[in-house]
């Protein structure tokens, strides 16, 4: 059966430049089934070799000029618009610098922001798909906490001023 199929492929596709459309249609289907791909390659005298690559891993992250840039172990840098990551966009510089690597460098996590970016997602050009309502609730909570911190700082300053401390 295999030999018959190979003979059919050779007859159909060998020296047939006018059959480019058929070739492309067939090659897409064949790529989805590795066993067929190998038979097809044999029939055409092609070598098919799997190239094993290591998944990209992050060594560092920068956030500047409206972009998130990940430095990869192989020397590449990939970046994405900061607005793709709303929690990072609304974060303070200290919060943005508080990242840690997870998954052996496959993901970058910001614990204070509950934000995580996968390198696979960055390479695929996928923004964070956060629910707008959840993000809105998170942002309001952050504003409330920051507002309370400012209020407490002002109260402490007023108490110091009343006591005559610090001037």
Q: So where are the chain's domains? A: 2-44, 58-124, 132-167
Question: pTM for the full model?
Answer: 0.55
Query: Could you tell me whether strands 77-81 and 107-110 are parallel, antiparallel, or unpaired per DSSP bridges?
Result: unpaired
Q: What's the average model confidence in pLDDT over 18-33?
A: 50
| pLDDT at residue 21, as a whole number | 47
Check residue 66 and give its pLDDT.
Answer: 92
Report yes or no: 37 and 28 within 8 Å, Cβ to Cβ.
no
Q: Are 108 and 101 in contact (CB under 8 A)?
A: yes
Is residue 38 over pLDDT 90? no
pLDDT at 49 over 80: no
Report the phi/psi class of residue 119: left, alpha or beta, with left for phi > 0 and alpha for psi in -120 to 50. alpha
**pLDDT top residue among 76 and 8:** 76
Displacement of CA 112 from its chain's centroid (Å): 20
CA torsion angle 1 47 36 44 (round to 10): -60
Q: Which of 50-54, 57-61, 112-116, 141-145 has the highest mean pLDDT?
A: 57-61
Report whether pLDDT(33) > 60.
no
Which carries the bigger pLDDT value, residue 24 or residue 108?
Answer: 108
Which architecture does CATH list for 58-124?
2-Layer Sandwich (3.30)
* Ramachandran area for residue 83 (φ above 0: left; ψ -120 to 50: alpha; else beta): alpha
Give the pLDDT mean for 71-95: 91
């Amino acid at each position: 059966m295999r030999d018959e199929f190979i003979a059919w492929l050779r007859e159909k596709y060998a020296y047939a430049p006018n059959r480019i459309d058929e070739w492309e249609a067939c090659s897409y289907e064949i790529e989805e089934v590795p066993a067929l791909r190998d038979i097809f390659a044999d029939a055409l005298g092609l070598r098919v070799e799997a190239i094993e690559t290591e998944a990209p891993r992050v060594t560092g992250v920068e956030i500047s000029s409206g972009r998130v840039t990940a430095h990869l172990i192989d020397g590449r840098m990939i970046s994405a618009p900061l607005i793709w990551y709303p929690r990072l966009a609304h974060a303070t510089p200290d919060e943005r610098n508080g990242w840690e690597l997870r998954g052996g460098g496959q993901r970058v996590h910001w614990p204070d922001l509950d934000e995580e970016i996968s390198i696979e997602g960055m390479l695929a050009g996928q923004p964070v798909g956060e629910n707008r309502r959840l993000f809105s609730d998170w942002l309001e909570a952050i504003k409330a906490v920051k507002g309370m911190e400012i209020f407490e700082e002002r109260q402490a300053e007023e108490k110091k001023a009343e006591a005559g401390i610090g001037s």
